[in-house]
Amino acid sequence: MMNMFKSNNMLAVCAALFLSSSALTVQAQSEDGHPVYTGELRDALRLKEKGMTAQSTYNLAEIADKTGNADAEGLSVLGDVLMRVPGYENRLNAFVAENPHSLYVTQMYFAHGLNRFDAGDYAVARKIFGVVELKDLYEGQKDEYLFRKAYCDLEAGRFKDALDGFYMVEKRPVTDFTAPSRYAIGYILYRNRDFSRAQEWFEKASVDDRFTDIASYYILECRFMLKDHRYVTANGDAMYDAVPESRRPHLARIISESWLVLGDADKARKYYDLGIGDGNGPDSRTDWFYSGSVLYAVDDYEGAIRSFSNMTERTDSIGQVANYHLGYCYIQTRNKVAAVEAFRDAALADFDPKITEDAYFNWAKLAFDINTDTSVFNDYIKKYPAKEQEDRINSYIAVAALHDRDYEGAVNAYDKIDELDEDMTLNYMKANYLRAVQLVESGSYRLAIPCLKAAAYYSERGSRFNQLSRFWLAESYYRNDQYDDAIEVFTDLYNTSALYGRPESYLIPYNIGYCHFKKENYPSALKWFDSYISEPESQYRKEALERRADCFFIQKKYKEACAAYDLVLNDYFNVNDIYPYYQAALSYGLVKKADKKVELLSNVMKASADAEFYPEAMFELGRTYVAKEEDDKAFECFSRMAEKVKDSTFVARAYIEMGSLSRNQSQYNEALGYYKAVVEQMPMSGYAEDALAAIESIYQTRNQPDEYLDYIEAIGKGGIKTDDEKESMLFNSAEQIFLSENYQKALVSLQSYLDKYPDGANAYKADFYMAESYRMLDKLEQACDSYRRVIEKGEGSFVELSMLNFSNLSYRMERWDDAYGGYSSLYSAALLENNKYAAVLGMMRSAYKAHNHTEAIKNADKVIADSRTDASVKSEALYIKAKSYLSSSRRQEAYSIFAQLAKDASTVYGAEAAYLIILDSYDKGEFEAVETKVYAFSDAGTGQMYWLAKSFIVLGDSFVERGEYEQAKATFESVRDGYTPSGNDDDVLDNVNIRLKKLAELMAEEI
């Protein structure tokens, strides 16, 4: 609001209108006690009455000189005072000193006070008036005396004394000083912001023609200050034409503000323009503020931006309003980047709570829209914890995340909403399902389970979406060894013929069968495998046939097992697929069909030594030949094993068998060689004891006990095995299986060791090998469980490697917090510099994925500063740093790095940086710059087509903003027709089609 209190102007008007020459007159003394003049003295006084004041004073002075008459002297001095004769003060002071009780002293001081008043020396005049007693003045002088004395108090700022004086005048009979006093009272009350009473006194003063115009003007100001804007607008037009030119800018401002308050922005603009004409433009913060307010009201957003920006500071109450309006002005001019700063400044001020809250919300929304910064929304929710608004915010964040295919972010946002409406529910179940798909693809089944449960819970039970969600829920249960839960869901789907016609439908009995198989419920497993095999669409028929046969075998129904395995071999025989014919051979052996067993096992002679079950089948074939007393064939089998098999356990067994064959043929030296190879080369294989016993037997047979004793002394063997040695042997056996890369069998052997020695010296090694086996079998969650146990209980390099692998797998499974924690531990504990570097890289990447921007930036700096960082990784680190800056609303720092990356638009980071720079221009409303930059990006010949396509979409958007719909349509269609998606997550065509649809609606509205 403008400053309305310009006392000099009001008082100047007052003085001009009613401050005239003194009303002082010299009256003849009468019956009231004053003397009556006679003779020469009367003649002198008559000259004054005729206007000959100077001659009268001269004559009076002569009379005084000749006669010494005090009255003549007093009248002469009074005349000098009235005529303002230079130096009259000396005569006045001398007369008062000689005649302090003279009746003329009061008149002299009164006249003297009037002289100083007229000279504008109000302080001296007030002092002189203070000597004068009201009762000593003539009746006709009293109003003037009271008024002028009060006026002096007014000029001195003694408003209460002045008000009391003016009230005294007003209470007396009406004179020429009544109206001026009323006006002055109005002024003082106006100045004290008592506009209602001030208006009353101005109205009383306006009755006097001298004050009609000026009082009416200030009545208008009072009504304005009382917010009676309708009065102002009703009377302002006529008054504006009538007031003096000098008063019009101020009056125009009042009228303009009133029209603005009443909502007529056009009339407000009209009077604003009148007020700033002829060089009367804004010259203060408040003027610029009002200028911006008017221009904002009439939608002149560019003008409003200039005016608000010209305010020197915007940190007070009107500054908050200015920043708030600036934010909306920038929105209207499409400059979101400037708008977010303006709303932020308005939000950080607390003068107007409503503005603060709304500005905070807009700041938060824009920071999220252009920076993907959710922190401001979070701060807003903490400051304004209204649940309904919080839900709207989280829904907005969730929808944006869905649009960007950030399903994790969408789920997290929706999880914060207690009650979902219909649209939210639809999006929530969609987000959960799509997030689950990502997690399943990364092997993170445990995290997928709650997502799939939510997708199933919120969707219609009979819908395909619900059924598909439950199918993958059951599959995730299975992968997490929750077989009962998996069976329950799969069985329910089966009983309702769920997903009929889809591939998943045919898999349901197969999956139920596997769940029962894992639970060792073999009769039920058989039932479901048979059901699956009977289906026309049985993608996994071979596996189902194998498990069906296994069910018979495990139940010791060997005859049925033979037939079942034959089904597999009849349809799917492969010499390197050893398991089915190996199992079939075992089954035939158990039903006493040795020839069939040999026939089947003989296939292994043609198989690769690297094939799974090669050592088992080859050993079994050799043992079968031994039983058939075909020693040469048996020896060939064991010899092949010793030569080709990686598993030292089987190698040891092969040597022992060859030793036995040699011994049976009395080839003791050869036998000793084989047995000693086991003892000396594979002492921890678990078969060293058997080999040593065979060596002892041979020496005894040859009657060479001393040589046996010499031998065991030489190799340090003797006595009964200790518990530690037995533990080591069991661990070593399991370790050898792991080293042979038979990971499934290794898991069984290692778990057997851990079951027997849970706190054994090699327990942490066993856990490490289990973790590695799970990792190689792509069971990542189980691998992490085992790695975690090594980290907690292990030692040495096993711990360091477990930290590295745990972190890598957690990152792969999108368990960002686990990954970051793992890498942090690795960084602190690693002895190998390469692992320390890997830890920093992992901390940078996982912190970025977890939206921990501070840590992402800190670790990116470490990566950039490391001499081992190559150009590609440095670009990645710069990218992460820039994106983290952007998500922290540190745009200037972010775009400085983007500019650096964009210099090489051939890389994925450089191409995205180029796109973001284009998007920045769009967000600033710089649409011509968008066009220039997009074409430059295209001309650069980048192979990063995704980001180039996204840039052309922004170009199309800029054409829409400029109203160039045909150009926008052509741009969008060129992308639609010429772009090939790079994968399922490619959102280019979706975005283009959405825009084309909206554009068609816009173009239809113009027709």
Domain holding 667: CATH number? 1.25.40
pLDDT value of position 206: 93
In a domain, 361, yes or no: yes
Task: Tell me which of 428, 459, 490 is where a domain ends.
Answer: 459
Question: Are 244 and 321 found together in one domain?
Answer: no
pLDDT value of position 915: 97
pLDDT value of position 37: 47
Question: Are 393 and 451 found together in one domain?
Answer: yes
Domain holding 938: CATH number? 1.25.40.10
Angle between helices 631-644 and 648-664 (to 10 degrees): 150
Containing structural domain, residue 965: 902-1007
Provide mean pLDDT across the span 102-124: 92
* Percent of the residues in the chain that have a pLDDT greater than 90, as a whole number: 75
Task: Tell me which of 674, 694, 719 is where a domain ends.
Answer: 719
Contacts of 699 (CB under 8 A, 6+ apart): 705, 707, 708, 711
Question: Are 431 and 468 found together in one domain?
Answer: no
What is the per-residue DSSP string for 241-301?
A: HHS-GGGHHHHHHHHHHHHHHHT-HHHHHHHHHHHTTTT----SHHHHHHHHHHHHHTT-H
Question: Are 998 and 907 found together in one domain?
Answer: yes
Question: Which region among 722-736, 857-871, 891-905, 969-983 has the lowest average model confidence (pLDDT)?
Answer: 722-736
- Reported as a single tens digit per residue, the pLDDT across 679-716 is 998 887 778 889 999 999 999 888 888 898 888 888 87
Classify the C-alpha dihedral 781-782-787-791 as positive or negative.
Answer: positive
| Confidence tier at 30 by pLDDT (50, 70, 90) | very low
Which residue type sits at 701? T
pLDDT at 334 over 80: yes
In a domain, 962, yes or no: yes
Provide mean pLDDT across the span 109-115: 93
pLDDT at 38 over 50: no
In a domain, 633, yes or no: no
pLDDT at 281 over 70: no
In a domain, 973, yes or no: yes
- Reported as a single tens digit per residue, the pLDDT across 179-210 is 999 999 999 999 999 999 999 999 999 999 99
In a domain, 879, yes or no: no
Question: Are 454 and 358 found together in one domain?
Answer: no
Question: Are 447 and 477 found together in one domain?
Answer: no
Question: Are 469 and 514 found together in one domain?
Answer: yes
Question: Are 359 and 409 found together in one domain?
Answer: no
Q: How far apart are CA 643 and CA 631, in angstroms?
A: 18
Q: What's the total number of domains in the chain?
A: 6
**Which has the higher per-residue pLDDT, 253 or 988?**
988
pLDDT at 930 over 50: yes
Instruction: Note the pTM of the prediction, 2 decimals.
Output: 0.77
In a domain, 897, yes or no: no
In a domain, 447, yes or no: yes
Cβ(915)–Cβ(882) below 8 Å: no
Question: Are 359 and 319 found together in one domain?
Answer: yes
Question: Are 312 and 380 found together in one domain?
Answer: yes
Q: Tell me the three state secondary structure of residue 164.
A: helix
Average pLDDT value over all residues in the chain: 90
- Residue 547's alpha-carbon distances to 530, 556, 568, 861, in angstroms, are 10, 14, 10, 54
Cβ(124)–Cβ(131) below 8 Å: no
In a domain, 639, yes or no: no
Q: How far apart are CA 786 and CA 796, in angstroms?
A: 16
| Confidence tier at 719 by pLDDT (50, 70, 90) | low
Cβ(541)–Cβ(533) below 8 Å: yes
Question: Are 444 and 503 found together in one domain?
Answer: no
pLDDT at 452 over 90: yes
Question: Are 271 and 364 found together in one domain?
Answer: no
Task: Tell me which of 686, 719, 752 is where a domain ends.
Answer: 719
pLDDT at 280 over 60: yes
Q: How far apart are CA 30 and CA 16, in angstroms?
A: 36
| Confidence tier at 980 by pLDDT (50, 70, 90) | very high
